[in-house]
Amino acid sequence: MTATAEPPRTAVEAAEQTQQTRPPLDRAEGVELLGGVHGSGYKEGAALVRRGDGQMVHLGPLMYGLLEAVDGERDRSEVASAMSERLGRGIGEEHVDRIAEKLAAQGLLAGFEHKAPPKRNPLLALRWKVLVTNPTLTRRLTAPFTVLFRPWVMWPVLACFIGVFWFVLFDKGVASATAEAFHDPGLLLLVFALAVASAGFHELGHAAACRYGGATPGGMGMGLYLVWPA
């Protein structure tokens, strides 16, 4: 019984076998691509990603482009081609591997979630956050207000706002109204309720502006900023 040695493989064959044994790249579970940050002042652009735990991550165009291209099915060469087409620059498989290593260190690729840095907990962050409306309800609530951003509506409304602002601050004044509110606790509760309601209406304005500009707003919520609802 004789043993036969396998013929030596070429570098191309070895690379192809390695490519076949490596699983396709995919985003970690819960990772949400939020898009580019326009007008940020960064030289090469910037983009935001939300991890599954809610942590926001700031990425450059190459790392964000890789997250856009991976889907759990494409191999390295297909990912490189998709990135090259989208970014307008030559991207090779070796570049994909290096960028993937950086994303894996951030816990943004499937199978590397355990490497994600701990979620930050800044002192001035919102506390006790709760979701009030889901994306579907947000779109329904904001649909009637998108018309307010049309120029023929916006300019008259802005003129009325300036007129009311001038009357309250420079003609009527706020000293007497403030003193009356402090003398009547019931009025203070009313002022507090109106402040919270106006904050909610203010957030509807943000979401309506997103829709008018072509973006898709998500859910809206509220929380506690230091000691004040936000």
Q: Is the pTM of this model over 0.75?
A: no
Mean pLDDT, range 60-70, rounded to an integer: 89
> Does one domain contain both 28 and 72?
yes
Nearest CA among 30, 45, 39 for reference residue 119:
30
Strands across the sheet containing 47-50: 32-36, 47-50, 56-59
| Residue with more model confidence, 123 or 160 | 160
> Does one domain contain both 23 and 97?
yes
Residue 84 has pLDDT above 50, yes or no: yes
Does a structural domain hold residue 153?
yes
Does a structural domain hold residue 109?
yes
Mean pLDDT, range 113-131, rounded to an integer: 79
Tell me how many domains the chain contains. 2
Angle between helices 93-105 and 61-69 in degrees, nearest 10 = 100
Domain range for 138 is 127-229
Residue 13 has pLDDT above 60, yes or no: no
> Does one domain contain both 199 and 221?
yes
> Does one domain contain both 42 and 94?
yes
